[in-house]
Amino acid sequence: MEYAIDYVLIPLIKIGVVFGALSGVIAYLTLLERKVIAFMQVRLGPMRVGPHGLLQPIADGLKLMLKEDIVPARADRWIFTLAPVITLVPAFIVFAVIPFGPTIHIPAIHILGAAIPARDIGLFITDINIGALYVMAISSIGILGIILGGWASNSKYPLLGALRSAAQMVSYEVALGFSIMGVLMMAGTLSLVGIVEAQRDSGYWYVFLQPLGFILFFICGVAETNRAPFDLPEAESELVAGFHTEYSGFRFSLFFLAEYAAMIVISSMAVTLFWGGWLRPFPNVAALAFLGIIPGIGWFALKVLVFLYAYLWFRASWPRYRYDQLMKVGWQILMPLAIANLIVTAILVLVFGGAK
């Protein structure tokens, strides 16, 4: 009975909550993007559907689902349908390891005479001891979906666009991986819960100890998700309209959701690895203990929102890099910097020892 509750019921509830919350957040992220960018551009954004456009995502979702299902003539039907799924699923399952808050204590519940004993529940679906590696590996699978999408369209331009997107993502994956190694060395563990706890124990968010690592991580993260200023492969003024040219309706919405889910993944990872996860600001300063009123999950959400806002801010403000410049930045600037950061951190960890 305990086994059933601990290993089946509670995880199912957690998965349901996370999946539901994530879907809602992704949907409203699309609205947030349009509103934030509109306000930055001295206009109002969606205003008609619901008060201040609040029902817009529902309208958009319905529209995409009800659209005509077009498959190009000689496209490979199976792969054409599978590709967006391959892109979307990894983005969602990454959230299995991300800690949203500290371990909470649920008191005993009495229903129908039976008692469910009290237990401590960690606010994460699972905590595997190779959490960071899991995230990096699973998010790489999404690239496969993009290539398949371009391939299955059976058309020159989406294929070229897909290959360019994929090449960009792969290049920045390398730098991304290097940039988080400093954090891993300092925390001593790959487990994401362990990393947050290491930040709590050391008393500092890792962004203060690894500023360069954080900057590199975020830049590479923006490039990973094909967002501005690295969004040339899917820019409108390009010849090659990107891998999702031939997609419409529901399949397109899956690609679209995958992009926003990936944004949330990168933001969550940045928060977890560098910004203390669910810790309050300055966990080592007792004077600010009153900030503990806001639960850990609230701090987590707030920090993720800050990063998402940064994503939108970048999109509104900056022009986009040309493809060759983009690759140059990834390989010739960011990767050497990431390796340098790694070496310096390694030396410092060795010299000073411990979790500092």
Residues near other proteins (CB under 8 A): 37, 40-43, 156, 159, 228-229, 231-232, 235-239, 315-325
CB of 234 to other proteins, least distance (A): 11
Inter-axis angle of helices 10-40 and 56-66, nearest 10 = 110
Closest CA to 32 of 11, 60, 13: 60
Count Cβ atoms within 10 A of the Cβ of residue 295 and give its class: 0-12 exposed, 13-18 middle, 19 or more buried: middle
CB of 299 to other proteins, least distance (A): 31
Beta carbon nearer to other proteins, 127 or 238 = 238
Closest CA to 14 of 106, 96, 118, 117: 96
CB of 237 to other proteins, least distance (A): 4
Pairing of strands 114-116, 119-123: unpaired
Beta carbon nearer to other proteins, 68 or 236 = 236
Q: Which residue has the tokens 């707030």?
A: 302
Q: Peptide bond before 229: cis, by omega within 30 degrees of 0?
A: yes
CB of 151 to other proteins, least distance (A): 12
Beta carbon nearer to other proteins, 208 or 318 = 318
CB of 158 to other proteins, least distance (A): 12
Beta carbon nearer to other proteins, 19 or 313 = 313
Evaluate whether 46 touches 35 at the Cβ level (below 8 Å). Answer: yes
Beta carbon nearer to other proteins, 38 or 55 = 38
Beta carbon nearer to other proteins, 7 or 39 = 39
Which two three-digit tokens encode residue 122?
A: 């960690």
Is the backbone of residue 52 left (phi > 0), alpha (psi -120 to 50) or beta?
A: left
CB of 239 to other proteins, least distance (A): 6
Which two three-digit tokens encode residue 96?
A: 């299995």
Evaluate whether 190 touches 129 at the Cβ level (below 8 Å). Answer: yes
Beta carbon nearer to other proteins, 71 or 241 = 241
CB of 209 to other proteins, least distance (A): 27
Total residue length of the chain: 356
